[in-house]
Structure 1
Amino acid sequence: MLEISIREQDEFIKLGQALKKANLVSSGVDAKMVILDGLVTVNGKTELQRGKKLHDGDVFEYNGETVKVVK
């Protein structure tokens, strides 16, 4: 399982940004497309909102990779 961290001054990271930070997509457009295609899950549920706020402890999955958000 990969881990990405939220910047210390922030309380959350948006799903599209998290996909890029984890190097699972190369751009925001790619993030938008894989999310809208229903290929990303957050905490076990398909997520269709690129702006979904992820907080410490949330887990998302895409393309066989699991990523945990940590503070």
Structure 2
Amino acid sequence: MTVLDFELDRDHVELNQLLKLAGLCDSGGQGKAIVASGAVTVDGVQELRKTCKIRAGQVVRLDGTEIRVIAA
């Protein structure tokens, strides 16, 4: 599994934007489609809300990639 540390420089980031900023998709729209497909988990639970607020300390997984969100 690939592990990425994403430094969050604000209170939260929307899930679809996190996927884009982490380089797992090319656009926010593509990120929304990926979330809607059911392929994303947040803290081990499937997340279908495209604009779910992700905060420092949470872990997002997509396929073989884990994104650990940390405070900047």
The TM-score, its normalising length taken from structure 2, stands at 0.90
- Counterpart AA for 1:16: N
- Which residue matches 1:69? 69
Written as runs of structure 1 = structure 2, the 5 A alignment for 1:1-71 is 1-7=3-9, 10-71=10-71
State the 1:69 CA deviation. 0.5
Helix, strand or coil at the partner of 2:17: helix
The TM-score with structure 1 as length reference comes to: 0.91
RMSD across aligned positions (CA)? 0.8
What is the CA deviation profile of residues 31-56 of structure 1, one whole-angstrom value per residue up to 9, with x for unaligned ones? 01110010000000000011111111
CA distance in 2: counterparts of 1:24 and 1:63, whole angstroms: 10
> Structure 2: where are the runs of 5+ without partners?
none
Q: Which runs of 4+ in 1 moved over 3 A?
A: none
Total equivalences in the alignment: 69
SS in 1 for 2:67: strand
Which runs of no fewer than 5 residues in structure 1 stay unpaired?
none
Secondary structure, aligned partner of 1:17? helix
